C-alpha cells in the first residue's frame, strides 16, 4: 500500500515537473518570439522609417571639409595656417604604418574584417551597459565614428546608435575600407582645434605626420576617445598612461615587435607648448598675410582652403630669425643680468613641490629655446633647476657667467638667485646656461631690389612676446642711414665725391626765443675733406652743410619722390641731414633698393600667389621690375656713384664690419640716433637689400657706448653671410654719362670748371647756392633753421638730433 502511494506521488511530481518545464520553455519561446517580433519590427522600422531619413553621402564621397588658410614660402615650405579647424588633408598611403596601426589597435582592431558594425563588440557593450545600468560603453567602429562625426551628434542614445549603424552599413557600400580609414584619419577631432592626425602631429610635436615616431603615433592615437582628457599638453601624465596601453595593444596584435615596444615606451616625448609649430619662424610675415587676405575674403579666409605662396625664402627667413635672436641676446649679455622673473615658496621634495613648480611655470611659455625654470638649489659654483618637463638640469662653469653677480651672497634681495627663483635657461652648444628674456627689440627685413619681393621679414625678437611688427609699424628716426639720400640729392646739384667740404663748427640762428643751433659730432672736426670721406666717416657737419647748400625744400621733395619717403614725415629742417624724419624699416630697405637696382622704384610685396582649395588661381602678382616696367627715379649715374660711395663706407668707414664677409660688392650705411635710441644698418648687394634695426619700444638709450656698428651691423652681417652664400660677387657696370678724373667719378655735365662744385664752407659760414666761375661757391650768410613747431616733442626731436653715426 505504501509503495503504491509513493508511486502515485512520483507520477504526480513528474507531471508537475513536466508542466513547469513546458511552461518555462513556452515562456522562453514566447520571449524569443516576442524578441524576434520586436527585433523584426525594429528592423522594419529602421528599414522603412529610418533608412529613408539617412543623409546623402555626398559629404563623404565628395569629401570637402573646412580647410584653413595655408601660407607657404616661395620654395613651398609651410610656415603658417589659420582657421577654425586646423586640418591638413593627407592620403592614406602617406600616413605612416605605425600611425595607422596605432589607431586600429585602440579604436577598431577588426576594422578590415567587419562590415561596418562589429556585432561582437556591440553585444559586449550591451552586456556592459546592462550591468552598469546605463549607456556607458560605446563599441563604435571606425566606420560608425565616421558616420557620427560627419553626420550625427555625439549624444549617447539608442536611436542615435541605430542611425549610426545604418549609416555605417551605407558608408561601407559606398566606400572601400581604405577610403573610410582615410576620411577618419583626416576628420577626427584631436584637441587644440586640430582635426585629423596630420594637423595634430604639427600641433603637438611640431612636425609632419610622416616624421612622427612610434611613441608619438601611439600618443596621438590615444586622443580620439577624449581629446581633453588625454591631451599631452594639458594632461601629460594621463596621455602617457594611455600611450603605453596603446603600445601594449599593438604588441598583443603583433603590429610591433617587443624591441620596438621597449624602445617606444622608453622614448622621452617632447611636446610642443605655446609657440611656433613650424620649422621656419615667420610669425610676423604670416600675420601680415592673414590681415591682407581677411580684408578681401572676410570669414571665408579661414574655411575655403586658400593657399598663399609668399615671396619669402625659407633659408633666408631662418637666417634672418637666427641673426635677430643672436644680435639681441649678445646685446642683452653686454648689459648684465636683471635678476629672476619671480620667486616662489619652494616646498620640500614631493607632490607639493611639483605642483608649486608647475603653477609657477604655467603662465610663462617657452620663448623658442629660452625656457623657464625654477631653481632647486644655488651657489656660486652650481645651480640646479627644474624645467616644465619635470627634467632637472645642473648648470655650472661658463653657464653661470651672465648671472654670476646674482649668485653672490652680497646680491640685493630682488636680484639674487636662490631656491624658488623663477629664471630662464638655454641649452647651447656649450651646455646649459642661465639667460633672461631680452627687453630690447630688433628687426631684419630684406628684399630683391629688382622686383621688391620680400625675401625675409622678422618684425621683432619674439611674436608671442610682442606682436607689434616693427618692420612695418615702427616709425623711427633713421639717423645717419638717411644721409645717403641727401648726398644723392646733392649729386644732382653739382656736387660729387671729390667736392671738398669743410668739417668745421657751424652755427645757425634758432627759432624766436631759442638760442642758436650748433650741431655737433661725436669726434673733433677734421676740417676740409672730400665728400666721399665725409660720408665714409659719417660726418654730421658735412651732411648739414650739403643740405643747406641744396636747400631743405628741394631735398624734401627729392627724397620723397625718388625714394618713397613720406613727405609729411620728412621735415624741411636742417636736422633732416642727420635723420630727423621718421621711417619704417620696410620703407628704408625699399629706398636702398633704388640705389641697388640702378635707380628704379619698386614696390615691396609679400604675397606672390593665392589659390583656392581646388587649385584655382585667385590672384597672382605681376611685380614692377627694374629695367622693364618699373619707374626710373634717379638716373643710372646717380645710383652708380652712390653705390661707390656706400661701398667705401662698407669697406673703410663706419660700416667696415662688413669686411668679415670678405666681399667687395657690399654697400651700406650705419645709423645711430641721438642718445643711441636707435641703432641701424642699411645696405645691399646687387641681388639683395637688407635693413637691421635695434631699439626699445618706448625709446630710451641703448647705451653711451652703443652705435649702429655694434647694434645692427652684426645682425646684418650674420644674415648676409648665409643669404649670400654661394652668390658670386657683382660689380655694377659703369653707365654712360660718367667721367673719371684722378680715379674719382663725376657727372659728365658737372666736371671741374664746368658746373662742378669743387668746395663748400671753406670761406666760413654755411654753404651758399651761388657758384663762381671757378666752381667755388660764392660766400653768403648762413641759412636759418626753420621755425620750430609748437609741439614740444617734435621740437625736442629736431633740436636734439645732432649726434651719432
Q: How far lies 645's CA from each of 243, 482, 498, 544, 601, in Å?
A: 65, 14, 11, 18, 20
Q: Can you state the angle between helices 258-266 and 214-221, rounded to 10 degrees?
A: 80
> Would you give the end-to-end CA distance of the chain in angstroms?
137
Strands 69-72 and 307-310: parallel
Residue with cell 631699439: 695
d(CA 635, CA 721): 30
The DSSP letter of residue 205 is H
Strands 738-741 and 759-760: unpaired
> 369: which 3 cell numbers?
629655446
DSSP string of 788-805?
A: PPS-HHHHHHHHH-----
d(CA 759, CA 648): 20
Contact 159, 168 (CB under 8 A): no
Q: What's the burial of 397, exposed, middle or buried (CB within 10 Å: 0-12/13-18/19+)?
A: exposed
SS3 for 350-393 is: CHHHHHHHHHHHHCCCCECCEEEEEEEEECCCEEEEEECCCCEE
d(CA 407, CA 401): 10
Contact 87, 195 (CB under 8 A): yes
* Catalytic residue set: 107, 480
Q: Can you state the angle between helices 177-187 and 197-205, rounded to 10 degrees?
A: 40
d(CA 453, CA 620): 13
Contact 232, 269 (CB under 8 A): yes
Contact 422, 361 (CB under 8 A): yes
SS3 for 718-784 is: HHHHHHCCCCCCCCCCCCCCEEEECCEEEECCCECCEECCCEECCCCCCCCCCECCCCCECCCCCCC
The DSSP letter of residue 339 is -
d(CA 672, CA 676): 6
CA atoms 321, 325, 328, 330: torsion sign: negative
Amino acid at each position: 500500500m505504501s509503495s503504491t502511494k509513493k508511486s502515485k506521488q512520483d507520477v504526480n511530481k513528474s507531471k508537475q515537473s513536466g508542466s513547469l518545464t513546458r511552461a518555462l520553455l513556452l515562456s522562453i519561446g514566447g520571449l524569443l518570439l516576442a524578441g524576434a517580433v520586436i527585433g523584426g519590427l525594429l528592423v522594419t522600422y529602421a528599414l522603412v522609417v529610418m533608412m529613408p531619413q539617412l543623409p546623402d553621402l555626398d559629404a563623404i564621397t565628395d569629401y570637402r571639409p573646412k580647410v584653413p588658410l595655408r601660407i607657404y614660402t616661395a620654395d613651398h615650405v609651410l610656415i603658417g595656417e589659420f582657421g577654425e579647424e586646423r586640418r591638413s588633408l593627407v592620403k592614406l598611403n602617406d600616413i605612416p604604418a605605425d600611425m595607422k596601426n596605432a589607431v586600429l589597435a585602440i579604436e577598431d582592431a577588426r576594422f578590415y574584417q567587419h562590415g561596418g558594425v562589429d556585432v561582437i563588440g556591440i553585444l559586449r557593450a550591451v552586456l556592459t551597459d546592462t550591468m552598469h545600468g546605463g549607456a556607458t560603453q560605446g563599441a563604435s567602429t571606425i566606420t560608425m565614428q565616421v558616420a557620427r562625426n560627419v553626420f550625427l551628434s555625439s549624444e549617447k542614445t539608442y536611436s542615435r546608435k541605430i542611425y549610426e549603424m545604418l549609416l555605417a552599413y551605407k558608408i561601407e557600400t559606398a566606400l572601400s575600407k581604405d577610403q573610410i580609414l582615410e576620411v577618419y584619419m583626416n576628420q577626427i577631432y584631436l584637441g587644440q582645434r586640430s582635426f585629423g592626425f596630420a594637423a595634430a602631429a604639427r600641433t603637438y610635436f611640431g612636425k609632419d605626420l610622416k616624421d612622427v615616431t612610434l611613441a608619438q603615433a601611439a600618443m596621438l592615437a590615444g586622443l580620439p576617445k577624449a581629446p581633453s582628457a588625454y591631451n599631452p599638453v594639458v594632461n601629460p601624465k594621463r596621455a602617457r598612461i594611455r600611450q603605453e596601453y596603446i603600445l601594449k595593444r599593438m604588441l598583443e596584435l603583433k603590429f610591433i615587435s617587443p624591441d620596438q615596444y621597449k624602445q617606444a615606451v622608453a622614448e622621452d616625448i617632447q611636446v610642443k607648448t605655446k609657440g611656433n609649430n613650424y620649422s621656419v619662424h615667420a610669425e610676423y610675415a604670416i600675420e601680415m598675410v592673414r590681415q591682407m587676405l581677411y580684408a578681401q575674403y572676410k570669414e571665408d579666409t579661414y574655411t575655403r582652403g586658400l593657399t598663399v605662396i609668399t615671396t619669402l625664402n625659407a633659408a633666408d627667413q631662418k637666417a634672418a630669425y637666427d641673426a635677430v635672436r643672436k644680435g639681441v641676446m649678445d646685446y642683452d649679455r653686454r648689459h648684465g643680468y636683471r635678476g629672476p622673473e619671480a620667486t616662489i615658496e619652494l616646498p620640500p621634495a614631493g607632490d607639493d613641490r611639483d605642483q608649486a613648480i608647475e603653477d609657477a611655470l604655467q603662465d610663462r611659455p617657452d620663448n623658442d629655446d629660452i625656457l623657464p625654470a625654477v631653481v632647486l638649489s644655488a651657489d656660486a659654483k652650481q645651480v640646479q633647476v627644474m624645467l616644465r618637463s619635470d627634467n632637472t638640469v645642473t648648470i655650472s662653469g661658463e653657464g653661470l657667467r651672465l648671472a654670476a653677480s646674482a649668485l653672490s651672497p652680497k646680491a640685493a634681495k630682488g636680484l639674487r638667485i636662490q631656491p624658488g627663483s623663477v629664471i630662464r635657461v638655454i641649452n647651447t652648444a656649450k651646455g646649459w646656461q642661465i639667460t633672461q628674456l631680452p627687453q630690447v627689440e630688433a628687426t631684419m627685413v630684406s628684399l630683391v631690389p629688382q622686383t621688391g619681393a620680400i625675401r625675409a621679414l622678422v618684425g621683432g625678437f619674439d611674436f608671442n612676446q610682442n606682436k607689434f611688427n616693427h618692420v612695418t609699424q615702427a616709425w623711427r628716426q633713421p639717423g645717419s642711414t638717411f644721409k645717403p639720400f641727401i648726398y644723392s640729392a646733392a649729386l644732382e646739384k653739382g656736387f660729387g665725391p671729390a667736392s671738398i667740404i669743410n668739417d668745421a663748427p657751424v652755427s645757425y640762428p634758432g627759432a624766436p626765443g631759442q638760442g642758436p643751433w650748433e650741431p655737433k659730432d661725436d669726434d673733433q672736426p677734421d676740417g676740409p675733406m672730400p665728400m666721399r670721406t665725409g660720408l665714409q666717416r659719417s660726418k654730421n657737419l658735412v651732411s648739414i652743410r650739403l643740405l643747406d647748400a641744396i636747400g631743405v625744400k628741394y631735398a624734401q621733395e627729392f627724397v620723397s619722390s625718388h625714394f618713397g619717403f613720406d613727405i609729411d614725415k620728412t621735415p624741411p629742417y636742417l636736422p633732416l641731414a642727420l635723420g630727423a624724419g621718421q621711417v619704417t624699416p620696410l620703407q628704408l630697405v625699399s629706398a636702398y633698393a633704388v640705389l641697388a637696382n640702378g635707380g628704379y622704384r619698386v614696390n615691396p610685396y609679400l604675397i606672390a600667389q593665392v589659390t583656392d582649395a581646388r587649385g584655382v588661381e585667385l590672384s597672382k602678382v605681376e611685380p614692377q621690375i627694374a629695367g622693364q616696367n618699373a619707374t626710373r627715379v634717379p638716373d643710372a649715374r646717380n645710383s652708380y656713384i652712390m653705390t661707390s660711395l656706400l661701398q667705401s663706407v662698407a669697406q673703410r668707414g663706419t660700416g667696415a664690419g662688413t669686411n668679415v664677409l670678405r666681399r667687395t660688392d657690399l654697400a651700406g650705411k650705419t645709423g645711430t640716433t641721438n642718445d643711441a635710441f636707435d641703432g641701424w644698418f642699411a645696405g645691399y648687394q646687387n641681388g639683395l637689400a637688407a635693413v637691421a634695426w635695434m631699439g626699445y619700444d618706448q625709446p630710451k638709450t641703448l647705451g653711451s657706448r652703443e652705435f649702429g656698428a655694434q647694434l645692427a651691423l652684426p645682425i646684418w652681417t650674420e644674415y648676409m653671410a648665409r643669404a649670400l652664400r654661394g652668390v658670386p660677387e657683382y660689380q655694377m657696370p659703369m653707365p654712360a654719362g660718367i667721367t673719371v678724373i684722378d680715379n674719382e667719378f663725376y657727372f659728365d655735365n658737372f666736371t671741374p670748371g664746368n658746373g662742378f662744385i669743387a668746395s663748400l664752407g671753406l670761406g666760413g659760414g654755411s654753404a651758399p647756392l651761388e657758384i663762381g666761375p671757378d666752381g667755388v661757391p660764392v660766400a653768403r650768410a648762413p641759412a636759418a633753421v626753420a621755425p620750430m613747431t609748437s609741439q614740444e616733442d617734435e621740437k625736442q626731436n629736431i633740436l636734439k638730433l645732432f649726434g651719432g653715426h
